[in-house]
Amino acid sequence: MEQAVGESGIVNGNISQNCSEFQSYSWRNILRRSELNVQFMLLTRRNAECAQFINDGNDIENSNFNGSLPTKIIMHGFRLTGSKPSWIDDMAKELINAMDVNVVIVDWIVGATALYSSAVDNLDNLGEEVGTLIQSLIIHGSTRESFHLIGISLGAHVAGYVGHAFEGKLGRITGLDPAGPKFSKKAVDRRLDPGDAVFVEAIHSDSDYFGISQPVGHIDFYLNDGKDQPGCTRRSISSVYKHVVCDHMRAVHLYISSIKNHCPLAAFPCLSYELFINGQCVGCQYLSLRHCPRIGLLDHAGLRATIQPREIKAFLLTSNHAPFCVKHFLVELILGEIGTRNQRVEMTFLSNNYKQRSKLRLLITNKRIMKKVISHDAILENMTVVNIKLLSTWRQKAPVIHIEMLRITELPLNDRETQSRCINNMEINEVLFQELVNC
């Protein structure tokens, strides 16, 4: 999106200045990483293709900054190679397309590169510099409530430091997979927490490696189990690092997609992923909530502004590709006679054209009623048929299973009037292919 340093940029209709750019990688910079060398770059609809430096008051005066507009501040995290984050331009572009805003990109590549421990040590000073910038922007017409800090990994905790310095009066903080190493056991004043802004949200996608596992916001979104993301697979030892980065960065790419696309990324408040996936959190009436919180730019994640939940976990399933949104369904089984031993069943639900399918594997035990939440990638299509197969072993054939009722219902249950689809009185001895009908 930005041109190289030294190329002329068209600002306010005139060729007036050079386009600012991220600092270039060099070992000299890495060796000087104790010196932050922070740069602040501004993008607006008036200079969407040519960032302007706003490193001091004079820069702000001579820029397109508009204090009457909201301001989004983007802060990257640790950088192993010292390269500019590849997602920065896309995020800035989508924010500007979605809203008339000031977008400020924080370049702290020098202080963020090479050693993770050194990058962590730099966060206090970085937070002070970002806070000084915000004070300058307030002098130029902004209000504290108009700021939205978007921090990725370590950048999420920097947002927390800044918000803490402003006594939690900044408008919003979005933490995208906030960093876990060196922060999981920190006190709340040393990491992101709900007291750092009027509204704090976090999206967790790699909570077992680079991301933090505990909730750190008013609403904490956990993608799938918050750990392993669809499409991020380990095929070899050499790809383990790429796998982990894939999980860690899924929060970033999903958030960008939520700004660009209009399909809903709604989540279900629940105490744990296990309870959610086992069908115990199928609505959104949790504590004072009345609606499912949504990832994106909606104020307070689509909740009422008067609601002040803290550290509420909300779970959602996603697909393995943009725009990542799926439909959620509750599958309910009422079983008849099932025999004396555990049996495994594979259910494949197919959409109208039979091309989109969702699979569910169940271990049938002595429980008469079973519930599971599944996802369906085809947003505009309904599930119409189900293929049920008993999974027997070469040693022993599975006995017949009698299903009194199979019911599938789109979620959430309390947000809409949804017609369930059912099959009644089935006996499965090997494979059954049957149409779902309205209950």
- Asked if 253 is an active-site residue, the reply is no
Contact yes or no for 78/153 (Cβ under 8 A): yes
Lookup: tokens for 245: 């980065």
- From the list 76, 218, 243, 248, the catalytic residue is 248
Neighbouring residues of 232: CB distance < 8 A, sequence distance ≥ 6: 243, 246, 247, 250, 320
- From the list 136, 142, 153, 351, the catalytic residue is 153
Three-class DSSP category at 66: coil
Q: Is the peptide bond before 309 cis (omega within 30 degrees of 0)?
A: no
C-alpha separations of 27 from 24, 109, 382 in Å: 10, 12, 55
- From the list 63, 146, 177, 377, the catalytic residue is 177
Contact yes or no for 412/327 (Cβ under 8 A): no
Lookup: tokens for 359: 């699979």
Lookup: tokens for 399: 């006995």
Element (H, E) at 30: helix 27-31
- Asked if 248 is an active-site residue, the reply is yes
Lookup: tokens for 414: 């309390």
Q: Show the DSSP H helices in 140-239 as ranges.
A: 154-165
Angle of the 88-98 helix axis to the 240-260 helix axis, nearest 10: 10
Q: Is the peptide bond before 323 cis (omega within 30 degrees of 0)?
A: yes
Phi, psi angle pair for 151, to nearest 5°: -115, 135
- Asked if 153 is an active-site residue, the reply is yes
Write out the catalytic residue numbers: 153, 177, 248
